[in-house]
Structure 1
Amino acid sequence: MKIVTLVENSCGNENCIAEHGLSIYIETEKHKLLLDTGQTDALIRNAEALGIDLSAVDTVILSHGHYDHSGGILPFSKLNHTAQIIMQRLAAEPHYNGERYIGIDTDILKLPNVRLIDGDMQLDDELFLFSGITGRRFYPQGNRKLSYLKDGVKTEDDFMHEQCLVITQNGKRWLLSGCAHNGILNILDRYKELFDSYPDFVITGFHMMKREGEHTEDEKAVIIQTARELSQLDTVFYSGHCTGIPAFELMKEIMGDKLIALHSGETVI
């Protein structure tokens, strides 16, 4: 198995570029796939620099319907016309941060290889997708500013368009979530319902991003408690993007070697 961070907010390879976005390249025994595609064509430039052939990708999983995870789909589709692009049907709905549109480019929906799904889906014995995360403990407070159009009316986003990818490989399970808008603990609760265990590895943002000194005391308490609960698991977490450096550093103090930073151009395994 091979996992490479193609796009991330920070750069770990001088030949690659960073942007506010996320894209993970994965090779399994049966697949070459992408989780998310970043904000621009940065994934293409970084893949070229790293010697990764994106034309060989067979599957693209969109974790949720935001521009910084979907923006690379159209540039990617010019290189690769055959990879199935799987997203929750609700990811196609308009999404906003205040008045600013942050949803996907609607031209993506015109691609013939886009597959809109509803809920969980078993792709094969390696790949499983799940959504339906309804728990709200330690829910990221940044979500309160985010909305979507429901019957033409702006409604606070419930992130039913968010899906997580589970990869089973060599007796281990990897859980990948783009931003964990539903809250990583709620996502892990849903995972445990499905698999009666916890994953061996998790790659995710924690959606806790703020600049130094901007977190409220309540937000710090959520970050600390989340890290404490995660530190009790026999799971290694790789994180970056929407986690933010101040939150990551606070969690790292608690989680130690169980928390590892993601950077553009670096190999995870």
Structure 2
Amino acid sequence: MRTRLTFLCDNEAAPGLGSEWGLSVAVKTIDGSLWLWDTGQSDLFLRNAQALGVDPALATGLALSHGHYDHTGGLRALLAAGFKGRILAHPEAGRPRYNHGKSVRDIGPPAPLPDFEAVADTRELSPGLRMFTNIPRRPDLFQAVRGFSYDPEGKLPDPVPDDAFLLLETRSGPVLLLGCCHSGLENSLLHLRDMLGLDRLHAVVGGLHLFNADSAEWERVAATLEDFGVRRLAVGHCTGSKAADYLEERLDCEVLRTRAGLRIEFD
């Protein structure tokens, strides 16, 4: 059976669908199971899903990439729609979070988060689908955590320890599905190599959080993708249009821009 990713929510959308700053993906695994990856920031992903012929309430489970509002904000709407599946996240996913930019913003999840299964390292969710958390951060490598804290005063820095990714087994090869990649792509792929000995990927999909990174980091990401032999790249959400443009021009592989309504299939 083909593995399929259907984008239910992203910053951009196909005609007839809605968009918001957020991410939600329906994952059809190699054994036919339906999983959800994040819920966007509102019930928008449910409305888009209906238009796309996907019923999130029937999903086996929901995996959360981290606890920010733009990935967890649709949780209450999902539960109200009748979802009874498993919810999995890092133990720190339910903490309050704040962003210190021009002003202080609450960027945390719904309070309180529904009961969830804590994934503190890695866990197989279903055949062909594995979740990874607790991604080590090398001090010399990029991570997207600037301006985040656990308190409004900014005294307790938030390194986003709950950042997670999914690994899908497909007949085409391994596929990495990211949320925001706050750990940084280099850290994430090095962790994958350390855990599984995996040093080749067929595809990388999701947000790379490069919209506020410099061009030197864009180049390091491009080099890392080349090192892992990535043949398909699909980026959106927090990647940033300029970074996506750079990667599309720089890389000798298929590069897609994600948006609500996009379906990606792997043999």
TM-score of the alignment, normalized to the shorter chain, above 0.5: yes
User: Larger helix proportion, structure 1 or 2?
Assistant: 1
Cα offset, 1:125, TM superposition = 3.3
Matches within 5 A, 1:97-246: 97-98=99-100, 99-107=104-112, 109=113, 111-112=114-115, 114-136=116-138, 137-140=140-143, 142-149=144-151, 154-170=155-171, 172-197=173-198, 198-210=200-212, 219-235=214-230, 236-246=232-242
Q: Indicate yes or no: 2:49 matched with 1:44.
A: no
Cα offset, 1:19, TM superposition = 0.7
Question: Of the candidates 247, 251, 257, which is equivalent to residue 253 of structure 2?
Answer: 257
Deviates more, 1:246-255 or 1:58-67: 246-255
Say if 1:180 and 1:207, in contact at 8 Å, map to a contact too: yes
Give distance in 1, aligned partners of 2:155 and 2:38: 25
Give distance in 2, aligned partners of 1:247 and 1:263: 16
Cα offset, 1:153, TM superposition = 7.6
Q: Secondary structure of 2:175's partner?
A: strand
Deviates more, 1:165-174 or 1:245-254: 165-174
Letter of the 1:230 partner, please give it. Answer: L
Say if 1:172 and 1:200, in contact at 8 Å, map to a contact too: yes
Stretches of structure 2 lacking an aligned partner (at least 5 in a row): none
Stretches of structure 1 lacking an aligned partner (at least 5 in a row): none
Say if 2:49 and 2:55, in contact at 8 Å, map to a contact too: yes
Q: Percent identity?
A: 28
Letter of the 1:100 partner, please give it. Answer: R
Letter of the 2:131 partner, please give it. Answer: L
Give distance in 2, aligned partners of 1:174 and 1:221: 25
**Structure 1 pair 174/229, CA: closer, same or farther in 2 (3 Å)?**
closer
**Structure 1 pair 171/249, CA: closer, same or farther in 2 (3 Å)?**
closer
Give distance in 1, aligned partners of 2:195 and 2:110: 32
For normalisation by structure 1, the TM-score amounts to 0.88
Give distance in 2, aligned partners of 1:80 and 1:265: 23
Say if 2:201 and 2:228, in contact at 8 Å, map to a contact too: no
For normalisation by structure 2, the TM-score amounts to 0.88
